[in-house]
Structure 1
Amino acid sequence: MAALALFVAGSVAVTACGSGGAASGGAGQGQGGGRSERAERARLVSAAWKDSEAAKVWREGYYPLGDPVRLPEGAFRNEADKRAYLGRSFELRGTLPDPAGAKGAEGKVRWRAGGSLTVPVDSARASYERLDQGEGPGPALVVTGARFGSTSVLTSRGPATVPAWHFTLKGYDTPLTRVAVTGAEKDLEPPIEPLEMPTDDLAPLGGLASVSKDGRRVTVRAEHGSCDDGPAVDVAETGDSVVLSGWVRGTSDGPCKSDLRIKKVTVELDAPVGERLLLDAFTGMPVS
């Protein structure tokens, strides 16, 4: 959750367009010395996933993308509530429905483009415990109850409606919602091995933050340090995939703190993501 705190504190990056283009969170210094290496790695990742068994499993299964939590409107009222959420600190002052409130142990994922899948559903208690993982003293968000319902999420197969728990928070007019589906994902056998060592020229991304409604703007979390000009992300598009390559601009060789920073970077695509695979060049895996 420390990473979440860092990403919340960061600013959204400037965007750039086009296949092979770059979006940056800092001052531009060209494409970086590793541009050709990034392009070649992206080509290999894209080729490995094309028509692979892993791609088939990914497109046919349930793989949610992004945060499973939807914040209440107006969140947060104050800094104390924000700290409580970032610290995953909650306090239960009410009664949660029993598992029968979730219609047994199964629910339906329904895709906007058609099709559905029966999946296991968490109880209200299990979903609450996934929220409440803070330790030690400090402010807490007070949960007074919950109701079972649904919410919309982005998945590997596009937008879908999924089972969810809506938790009532003290001081808020709308609930905090958490997706109630966990453990439905099948293990993936990636068709290409990840790289071994992150460098300034190519590093793993910190996850998917959002995709715009038209599918043309993808925002990811990218890592960098305290002695550079910020992260950047290259884009390589094909008809089957979008490969994102994270790297760091303007690094210096002098004394530098070893702290890790995470910043949101937005890339603009030539065409909507659609059903194409969104892949991380470093890990060789889907960005999620």
Structure 2
Amino acid sequence: MRASASRSVGLHVGIALAAVGLAAISGCGNQKAAVDGDTAVLTERARQVATAWDGSTAAAAWRAGYHPMGEAVQLPRSGLRGQADKQAYEDQNFVLRGELPGTSPKDGQVTWPGGDSLTRPLVSADQSYTTLAGTHVGGEPHLTVTGVVLGEMTMTTSRGPATVPAWLFTLDGYDTPLKQAATVPSELFPSPIKAARDIPGHPLNRLVGITDDGRSVTVVALHGVCDDGVEMDVLETRGSVVLSTTVKGHEGGAATCTKQARMQQVTVKLERPVGDRVLLDARTGQPVPYKGSHGISPSPRGS
């Protein structure tokens, strides 16, 4: 099943590839190989990944663990008001008025609607605030935190929606708090299949989100500046959903092709909801990491 791209974003390879730890693009040769190559190789790779994961110990550990698949931060119910507050949040520019809680429980319960629960370590209020505010020390514009208490929030996980402990940050001027999940995710079990090093192209950069009905998945993929963007293939099995990308078209010659990469946001529709199936990258053989859409902005090129 092939999906079309939803929107594309541009980013120089020096930033994009350093951020995700990928190897540099070696000119247009790899791009053209991905365009002209036999996609049967990637299709077979997807089958191998699905076969390795379905029924594996890694898949069982994935289903038994706590793996966030949605935003760890939830803004106040009414959202942020005005461009200044939105900019302060994007810049991680917060000012703390008062003191953070000095003590908190070491562990907390993640609970799912069916009654399943899991005990996981909690980050402290200080750690949570540092994640939220970074290293900024004020300036304008900024958001002011006037209080912090331990509460809870609902977020999407690999096992569906769950109620998790969260630090609730009261913001000056807002009636409802900003919430940040306090629960430490479960560690990933080693993949039952090694990454493929000999297939042209790039691993998926991130999972952005899954719709409430589980029928659509949005990811970010990398492609070169000398092609027409990304096409996504999906292999669905009973236990997994394997995503693999190829590039389409080819623009310019060797003289005009540069070592740059673009990030492209792609939405794929599934035949049935993701559910507790593992969402996998065909090239890495690993679950697609959730990172959200933070820092992704529209490309002037379009999709």
Q: 1:158 to 1:89 in 2, by over 3 A?
A: same
Name the structure 2 match of 1:147: 149
**Counterpart Cα distance in 1 of 2:65 and 2:41:** 32
Name the structure 2 match of 1:270: 271
Q: Deviations over 1:181-224 (max 9, x none)?
A: 12x4134211111133774xx42112221111211111112223
Name the structure 1 match of 2:296: none
Percent of aligned pairs with the same amino acid = 47
Q: 1:108 to 1:214 in 2, by over 3 A?
A: same
Segments of 4+ in structure 1 off by > 6 A? none
**1:219 aligned counterpart, secondary structure:** strand
**1:215 aligned counterpart, secondary structure:** coil
**Counterpart Cα distance in 2 of 1:227 and 1:26:** 17
Checking the alignment, whether the CA contact within 8 Å between 2:146 and 2:172 is kept in structure 1 is: yes
Q: Give TM-score scaled by structure 1 length.
A: 0.80
Q: Residues 1-288 of structure 1 correspond to what in structure 2 (within 5 A)?
A: 20-25=1-6, 32-34=35-37, 35-100=39-104, 104-134=105-135, 139-182=141-184, 184-196=185-197, 199=200, 202-254=201-253, 255-256=256-257, 258-288=259-289
Q: Deviations over 1:209-244 (max 9, x none)?
A: 111121111111222344433333211111111101
Checking the alignment, whether the CA contact within 8 Å between 2:235 and 2:241 is kept in structure 1 is: yes
Q: Give TM-score scaled by structure 2 length.
A: 0.76
What are structure 2's unaligned runs of at least 5 residues? 9-33, 290-303
Q: Deviations over 1:248-284 (max 9, x none)?
A: 3334344255444333211111011112111111211
**Counterpart Cα distance in 1 of 2:88 and 2:275:** 36
Checking the alignment, whether the CA contact within 8 Å between 1:244 and 1:279 is kept in structure 2 is: yes
Q: 1:181 to 1:83 in 2, by over 3 A?
A: same
CA RMSD, Structure 1 to Structure 2 (Å): 2.6
**Counterpart Cα distance in 2 of 1:78 and 1:228:** 38
**1:96 aligned counterpart, secondary structure:** coil
Q: 1:122 to 1:75 in 2, by over 3 A?
A: same
**Counterpart Cα distance in 2 of 1:185 and 1:144:** 31
Query: What amino acid is the match of 2:189?
Result: L
What are structure 1's unaligned runs of at least 5 residues? 1-19
Query: What amino acid is the match of 2:55?
Result: D
Checking the alignment, whether the CA contact within 8 Å between 1:25 and 1:230 is kept in structure 2 is: no
Checking the alignment, whether the CA contact within 8 Å between 1:198 and 1:204 is kept in structure 2 is: no
The more displaced of 135-144 and 187-196 is 135-144
Tell me the CA shift for residue 49 of structure 1. Answer: 0.6
Checking the alignment, whether the CA contact within 8 Å between 1:26 and 1:231 is kept in structure 2 is: no
Checking the alignment, whether the CA contact within 8 Å between 1:87 and 1:134 is kept in structure 2 is: no
Q: 1:175 to 1:260 in 2, by over 3 A?
A: farther
Checking the alignment, whether the CA contact within 8 Å between 1:88 and 1:133 is kept in structure 2 is: yes
Q: Deviations over 1:106-132 (max 9, x none)?
A: 110001233111111122111111112
Q: 1:33 to 1:91 in 2, by over 3 A?
A: farther
Checking the alignment, whether the CA contact within 8 Å between 2:3 and 2:269 is kept in structure 1 is: no
